[in-house]
Amino acid sequence: MHPVTGLTIGGAVTYLDANITMPRPHRSAHGNLYTLAGVRASPGDHPIPYASNGRRRGTSTIAFAIGSQREAFVAAQIMHTTSTNASIGGENGEIINGYA
């Protein structure tokens, strides 16, 4: 988008909802899905470890002339990522906080 000559504005949003729904079969009825703490994960859906479900990004760039044959620009970007967990079981000690 170019609202003013030389100014460019952009943005992006990503949403990911990925889950492990069927752990690999094992002799046990619950499969062989383990947490980082070494505990067998409970049956059911488990979010993919390290995969935050949301990201947002905004960018802007302004370009301007310097003399008759040169151009300069200034750019800025901001990004935010939601928190996630490093373990399948969702232990509190394995939370990775969101950041901007």
In the predicted model, what is the mean pLDDT of residues 23-32?
62
Q: What is the pLDDT of residue 29?
A: 58
- Looking at residue 69, its pLDDT comes to 86
The two three-digit tokens of residue 21, written as one number: 């729904």
pLDDT digits (tens, 9 = 90+) for 34-69: 777 777 777 777 788 888 888 999 999 999 888 888
C-alpha 98: how far from its chain's center? Answer: 9
The pLDDT of residue 32: 74
Least confident of 15-19, 45-49, 80-84: 45-49
Q: Is this prediction's pTM over 0.75?
A: no
